[in-house]
Structure 1
């Protein structure tokens, strides 16, 4: 089987010498080219062509080594290469071809050879010292061909470059402009990294399905969102008149006021999801049963810790138990210490969690040991 091993040199300074056919002619060309310019990458391309021909000959093929090339004119160069390829194919009548190139520009001419003879392989020669440069070019080429990557990377960079001079004009401060752009990039990375864009794209269809199917959770989610906003607003109102230089105390004051509302929001959302699960299935998974208890337990523990820190910082006084009379038993009023109060909150959270595990085990018909292991 005759195989044509053709080396392409599109922008050759010696275009009139092409085509060069035959092993000895190519070896002479390698010597001349290497002596004239040792740094020319064509030398490596021609040597690779000889190596491929030697491998094909060792495997039993009848290789024909050839070099085709053009000049500086793009259209004229491509037409010369096409004519040279046709003359070689007409003379030697190869069954297939192996194309050897040393650049992306030369590789673009592979279809010209492929239209004249079947191309079995394309061998791209990369000089070892320039491998990173060549690889970078191909990575950039692949990157620019990917529409999703272009939108994700190039669009934000373009917007940042447009926004930077506008922010400089409006804010008249390089530091603030750079900080604003960095913050915008951070929000974008979090938005993409957490998959918020994918969630928002699915949200309309999920909402539509929930409306059509009459899911209870749709209403409870709206209630939970409203309670969360109320909780945030209550916490913000509580810390706004406080003049404190301690962010830790401000955060605890915010949590102390907002946690009951946030816990109610989590409880409403989890109960709605539990009701949907009960309506859609014959049974219910234990995780949905345990979720409301877990929300209440976490809320109690967080409020207990925030109250402990605020009491120790003297933001408000200790909790006082009022006097109570149960007939046989009478309790005098007393002040509860901060540590004791925190311990009661933690104990209540643990007890509620255990009750949730037990209820979940009863509903799902499993033993409590199995629930604790899960």
Structure 2
């Protein structure tokens, strides 16, 4: 008799708590539900609201899985409670950890459970276990995984975060580089790939080593008053010297000819000096833009490559015009080249800068 009484007493003292964990606060952000949500009916209503807001959200399955576990324990005659808790959209933030901790402490104080089940839609929610293990409560080792494999959910979560944080940054850069390579290759054959591969390689090395960010921080910490540190004024001076030397050299090489042939030969020798000087200026301005301005690196990169395309198109036109003046090309050939290069420039400009202009117009 006493033995039966003692067993029944222990059974009555056993209290079960089923906790549904929504680490990234989908119930709050999507269904505008404040947590903790207490009780079976309130949890079902929360699942319905979240399901109507986002039918594909796996937390709907988590909540319904928690309800099913609650019903199973209830049918066994156990004293059981059901609750939903949520964190914050940034699951790695202190705010998320603080919200989870406060709600867990509240539930443990309110219900004083002996056993805790928790239902999760992914492996990241299981960080809650580390906190519960430090409490005077038995965390039931049988975990409920709803609808899909926990590893599949975790893999999806990791892939989603990788694409969101990493690929969103580098995909535009990669596609822009490939596009410019194709354009330059179409105009200048193998030269296009060498230029683009070199630039992309330098960019990847700089990003991978953190060189760009370190330069930004170092130079900004020393103050913006040190204007002499900018490369553009130095590059302008170097470019002027290169162009001046090129002009003198081209003039000396073209002497002794009649005026038309003189102009043609002058352009033939001078063009590469002009291209080199202009390229140095473009490069320096881009570097200054990355270090000193608040514009996105991709936007600066687009402008830089667009400038390179224009520069090399201008070089081709000058070379062809030089050949025309020297009698090595036909007028029709030069005119067609100018028209084709102009169309390429216009199309490239529209493709690169149309979306930004559209945002300005719609804003």
Q: TM-score range by the shorter chain?
A: 0.3 to 0.5
* TM value normalised by structure 1: 0.34
Q: Which has the higher helix share?
A: 2
Which of the two has higher C-alpha Rg? Answer: 1
TM-score of the superposed pair, with normalisation by structure 2: 0.35
